[in-house]
Amino acid sequence: MRAFEYANPKTKEEAVKALTLDAGAAAPLSGGTDLLGLMKDDVEMPKRLVNLKSISELKGIRYDGKGLRIGALVTLDELIANKKITQEYSALAQAGRGIHSPQIQNVATVAGDLCQRPRCWYYRNGYGLLALQNGKSMVTEGDNRYHAILGNDGPAYFVSPSSFAVALISLGATVRVFGPSGAKDLPLAQFFRIPTAEGQKEYVLEPNQIITEVLVPPASRVKSAVYEVRQRECLDWPLATAAAALQLDGKSVKSARLVLGQVAPIPWLAEAAGTFLQGKTITAEVADQAAEMAVQGAKPLSKNAYKVRLARVAAKRAILRAAGMEA
């Protein structure tokens, strides 16, 4: 690992100042489960690490009439162990339990999960986020088994790796970002973007900004669930994920949000499927129709057509699980 400076601020203002001094050359450090590995492999080479773990304001889980507040430094273990989340925000608890590593659950943070970099093997081997060589993508003609089937018109073909983003977006979460100009809130769905040029990241966080907390609306009458399709049950990333959040009025769906993961460069909000579910009573047939709509427009690459079916299965089962019709 290359040598680097280390800053240990005690407030978010000090952290932003330390990041601003070397904007673009400094990186925030929370759990470090992703960043330190990237540094060891020379994929990321920050000159300064700004430790956030000493900032008490970024910790803790609170609930009030406005909803759930999850501090940026809340670990996956803390989130899973929280009774309020387990009882009322099932999708979040299920997403956390899907990470089958006690070591990572005890160290990794919610904000770190949202900001982890893609697991694309081209990026992880130093070919850049868009994996361009002589102006052409290495992905389209190479091994693209685990790459995007949606939002992949190019030049980005990686998939968003976050475990929690899919669940949080289905619940209508907002992320609070703090920088030199102060704090601002934006819907988590707008936090992610599909890069169009090298040098762009897959999220809108500027080099001198940090996430301070995630805000989730009250879960009144909302039933949510996550379903993941995995190649193996040990620590690994899913092949396809879906999160469903259903606001029910009796047995009828008043509103619905369905989000797919591991299939696009961003968490993929299936708006048409959510609209279709409104006013419906959930049945296996209705869930299947919504799932089919969720993958409409998919453009599989040469080696990943199987992911279309997996995404559809994940979507159907997430809907049924949220409705209490599947364990």
Read off the tokens for 43: 């994929």
Please write the tens of the pLDDT for every residue from 70-126. Answer: 999 999 999 999 999 999 999 999 999 988 788 888 999 999 999 999 999 999 999
Rg (CA), the chain: 19
Q: Are residues 243 and 288 in the same domain?
A: yes
Please write the tens of the pLDDT for every residue from 11-67. Answer: 999 999 999 987 779 999 999 999 999 999 999 999 999 999 999 999 999 998 889
- Distance of alpha carbon 314 from alpha carbon 67, whole angstroms: 27
Would you state the pLDDT for residue 309? 98
Q: What angle do CA 304, 197, 30 make, to 5 degrees?
A: 80
Q: Are residues 89 and 207 in the same domain?
A: yes
Domain boundary among 216, 241, 258: 216
Q: What is the CATH number of the domain that holds 239?
A: 3.30.390.50
Would you state the pLDDT for residue 22? 77
Q: Are residues 236 and 314 in the same domain?
A: yes
Q: Are residues 186 and 302 in the same domain?
A: no
- The proportion of the chain whose per-residue pLDDT surpasses 90, expressed as a percent, equals 88
- The proportion of the chain whose per-residue pLDDT surpasses 70, expressed as a percent, equals 99
For the segment 203-229, the average pLDDT, to the nearest whole number, is: 95
Would you state the pLDDT for residue 156? 97
N-terminal to C-terminal alpha carbon distance within the chain: 45
Read out DSSP for 149-177? SSS-SSS-------SHHHHHHHTT-EEEE
Would you state the pLDDT for residue 103? 87
Q: Are residues 209 and 299 in the same domain?
A: no
Please write the tens of the pLDDT for every residue from 230-278. Answer: 887 666 789 999 999 999 998 899 999 999 999 999 999 999 999 999 9
For the segment 145-154, the average pLDDT, to the nearest whole number, is: 96
Name the residue range of residue 178's domain: 56-115+160-216
Q: Are residues 204 and 233 in the same domain?
A: no
- Distance of alpha carbon 25 from alpha carbon 276, whole angstroms: 46
Q: Are residues 230 and 281 in the same domain?
A: yes
Say whether pLDDT at 326 is over 80.
no
pTM exceeding 0.85: yes
Would you state the pLDDT for residue 232? 72
Which positions ≥6 away from 155 have C-beta within 8 Å? 130, 132, 137, 195, 196, 197
Q: Are residues 206 and 229 in the same domain?
A: no
Would you state the pLDDT for residue 216? 97
Look at residue 304 and tell me if it is in a domain: yes
Q: Which of 128, 122, 115, 131 is nearest to 35 (CA)?
A: 115
Domain boundary among 196, 216, 236: 216
Would you state the pLDDT for residue 234? 64
The single-letter code of the amino acid at 95 is A
For the segment 175-194, the average pLDDT, to the nearest whole number, is: 97
Q: Are residues 235 and 90 in the same domain?
A: no
Phi, psi for 16 (deg, rounded to 5): -65, -40
With tokens 């009573």, the residue in question is 281
Look at residue 18 and tell me if it is in a domain: no
